[in-house]
Amino acid sequence: MEEYKPPALPSPFNNTIPPPILLTQGAEAHLYKTTSLDPSIPAALKIRPSKPYRHPILDRRLTRQRIISEARCLAKLIREGVSVPALLALDWEGHGGPEGGWGGAWLMMEWIDGPVVRVVLEQWEAWMKQNEGSLDESQIENEEARVRGLLRKMGSAIGVLHKAGIVHGDLTTSNLMLRPSADAGDAVEGTGAPSLEGDVVLIDFGLASHSNQDEDRAVDLYVLERAIGSTHPRSEPLFEALITGYRDSYKGASSALKKLEDVRLRGRKRSMLG
């Protein structure tokens, strides 16, 4: 089986030191770690490469439209004070590729240090499973209270997002990061339990859109609820803490949460019917 080779980088990144490091590759985009103007400043580089199977005119139009839409969402959220990566640079024309015909588009963002929430919760659940025989009731309650605190911060971040008139479109624990404070350790002192401290940062707005519809906000919440239920079973019963954080940070939460009940009902019907 041949080793995967990602598409060629756009020309501004062909001679950077150190060279960009490929972190993840999806159907639509590749994410690299690179540097900004100063080699000491790390940055995240998201590249939407050209799709050779699409008609060239359609491909350029779609690629341009999607990268600009994502950049506009980020720019608006930054202005509104939402915790997202800062937008540093953007090229939607795709100039300067190999032989002048690269054709893709890219945007550069602030590099966020810290793990994704998915990893944090997975580590916590693994630690709980490993130590459940030695934890008394009060210790279990303390641990669950720590997770509730994290979920409240997640809900608060989503509430501010929706208040700004943006829906994420792909809310999972992989698209939420936890940026630790300067004095936060990797584990809780004296217990070895994974740290859950830090600021929640929303990432990956490739499917985001401007919307003031409660239905769209409810779908955002439902997608995250289902993601937590399928990936983090021990954290799922604590999901109400996320709803509390959402309600506290967003005045329009009541109508969105009412619509969430409708979305849940439709989801259960689909599950029963197959």
Question: pLDDT of 15-71, one tens digit each?
Answer: 787 889 999 988 789 999 999 888 889 999 999 988 878 888 888 888 889 999 999
Query: What pLDDT is attached to residue 100?
Result: 47
- Specify the number of domains making up the chain: 2
| pLDDT at residue 267 tops 80 | no
Residue 158 to residue 167: CA distance in whole angstroms: 9
In the listed set 110, 143, 173, which residue is the last one of a domain according to the structure? Answer: 110
Q: How confident is the model at residue 98 (pLDDT cuts 50, 70, 90)?
A: very low
Residues 66 and 180 in one domain: no
Q: Average of pLDDT values for 123-142?
A: 93
Residue 82 to residue 76: CA distance in whole angstroms: 9
Residue 259 to residue 221: CA distance in whole angstroms: 10
In a domain, 16, yes or no: no
Q: What is the CATH number of the domain that holds 28?
A: 3.30.200.20
Residue 239 to residue 154: CA distance in whole angstroms: 10
Residue 247 to residue 250: CA distance in whole angstroms: 5
Range of the domain at 259: 117-272
In a domain, 2, yes or no: no
Residues 128 and 257 in one domain: yes
CB atoms < 10 A from the CB of 28, how many? 14
Residues 176 and 137 in one domain: yes
Query: What pLDDT is attached to residue 97?
Result: 46
In a domain, 7, yes or no: no
Q: How confident is the model at residue 99 (pLDDT cuts 50, 70, 90)?
A: very low
Q: What is the CATH number of the domain that holds 231?
A: 1.10.510.10
Query: What pLDDT is attached to residue 185?
Result: 62
Give the phi and the psi of residue 117 in degrees, each rounded to 5: -60, -30
Residues 142 and 259 in one domain: yes
Residues 182 and 206 in one domain: yes
Residues 121 and 81 in one domain: no
| pLDDT at residue 133 tops 90 | no
Q: Point out the catalytic residue in the list 170, 199, 216, 220.
A: 170
Residues 253 and 193 in one domain: yes
Residues 138 and 261 in one domain: yes
In a domain, 15, yes or no: no
The residue count of the chain comes to 274
Residue given tokens 């590249």 in the structure block:
47
Q: Average of pLDDT values for 100-104?
A: 59
Residues 126 and 180 in one domain: yes
In a domain, 123, yes or no: yes
Is 136 part of the annotated catalytic residue set? no
Residues 79 and 34 in one domain: yes
Residue 204 to residue 121: CA distance in whole angstroms: 19
Say if CB 175 and CB 161 are below 8 A apart. Answer: no
